[in-house]
Structure 1
Amino acid sequence: MKRFFSIFLLVLPAALFWSACEDNEDVLPDQQNRIRQYLRSNHVPKLLSETEKEESLDENPAFYTVAGDTVYRYIRNYYDAERADRAEVEYGDSVVLTFRMYVFDYTNIVETGKEITMPYYSNDKTLEQSYYNTGLTPGAWSFEPLRIELGRTQILRGLELALPGCRARDTVETYMTYNMAYGEDPLGVIPKQSPVAVFFTVDEVEKQ
């Protein structure tokens, strides 16, 4: 069982990570538009694009960045006073992550309270009992922080694109179109052509 669930983040076939070259002409732009609309209208807080952030009169406007036109990133603690002093993630670095992964349906993801949105996969220890309560066998997968070497460890292409520029102790939301996640085909609990949201904290950055 542990091996089964690890497939979602680590051991998918390489071809699946590069399905962008076979994008569906209708689905991809629709997902891009719907993610942007969600971030700008329904997300809490409402987010500006990076260009709008530069033009904003607000001192610390909440904003999202875009990687590869299909991966949208919001760093919640971007304006922390000491953030610039923390190690910045670059390709080749060893990075430790705690993550939650969701099939994204363009609605707000609830992380606290009684009616949380359950991730389809997570190593967040605070959710361990919640998974067990759903009938999963204790020990089905690891709830330890995940260590990857960026650019070497096989992870979702969208997550790989979102990590550079993050810093140690960042809390990050990413939203990605299907081609940056699992591609055209269904995979276990992931319906085909699903946009995916990955929320994560950067627990550690070891420079190489």
Structure 2
Amino acid sequence: MKRLLVISFFVVAALSCGCSQEEDTLSNQREKLVSYLERTHSPALVAESSLEEGSQLPYYSVAGNTVCRYIKNVYDPNRVGQPEVGEHSTVSITFRAYVFAFSNISDSTFPFWSNDPLLESAYEGLGLTVADGVWTFEPLVLQMDGDILKGLRLALLGCREGDDVEVYMTYNMAYGDGLFSTIPLQSPVAWFFTVDAVE
């Protein structure tokens, strides 16, 4: 009986350690995301919860655990009249998706997935073509009530047609612990997209 209690203690301790390590990773990624957005991102952003009424400062909003969204054209007066993404919408986007290293993403940063036609000639310069089975450069059509990334779903909700959006998410909101393509385990990701159409 004593031996069983000792073994049970070690099993519980090992499981607790795994959960603690995972929470440490998530906490660290959340802190780094916020630090990046508020200090390094250009323009520097403020948290939506910190905005004063009537402010026109660029801001990020937070959803889930943690998805940070920056809508570049949020103050455009014509934006309000555009169709809004809801729970059951069909959305078409043009995007670039990156493994996020908590630093600015430049034109020389290579995405792990994209359908942006502006990149097609860059890929062809590397000897890759759509005919070779590389990505399609057609808009990506998503069913909001379908099978899409949790973080991307949260980021899209409330966006409007024509929005130019940057989204930064912790690994659990993206691909989790599993392997996906060339993305290292527990990697935070960034999605830059425009909302082409909302139905």
TM-score (norm 1): 0.81
Instruction: From 84, 88, 92, give the equivalent of 1:88.
Output: 84
Matches within 5 A, 1:1-208: 24-54=22-52, 59-111=55-107, 116-139=108-131, 140-152=134-146, 154-206=147-199
Cα distance, 1:52 vs structure 2: 1.1
Counterparts of 1:134 and 1:193 in 2: how far apart (Å)?
Answer: 28
Note the C-alpha offset of 1:47. Answer: 0.4
Q: Cα deviation per residue 1:127-147 (whole Å; 9 max; x = unaligned)?
A: 011122223244322100011
Query: Which blocks of at least 5 consecutive residues in structure 2 are unaligned?
Result: 1-18
1:13 matched to which residue of 2? none
**1:23–1:179 contact (8 Å) kept in structure 2:** no
Report the CA distance between 1:184 and its aligned residue.
1.4
Structure 1 vs Structure 2 CA RMSD: 1.8
Offset at residue 22 of structure 1 (A): 9.9
Query: Number of paired residues?
Result: 179
Distance 1:43 1:183 in 2: 25
Aligned with 2:93: secondary structure? Answer: strand
Percent identity of equivalent pairs: 50
Structure number having the greater helix percentage: 2
- Which protein shows a greater Rg? 2
Q: Which has the higher contact order (CA 8 A, sep 6+)?
A: 1
TM-score using structure 2 length: 0.85
> Which consecutive aligned stretches of 4+ in structure 1 deviate over 3 angstroms post-superposition?
none
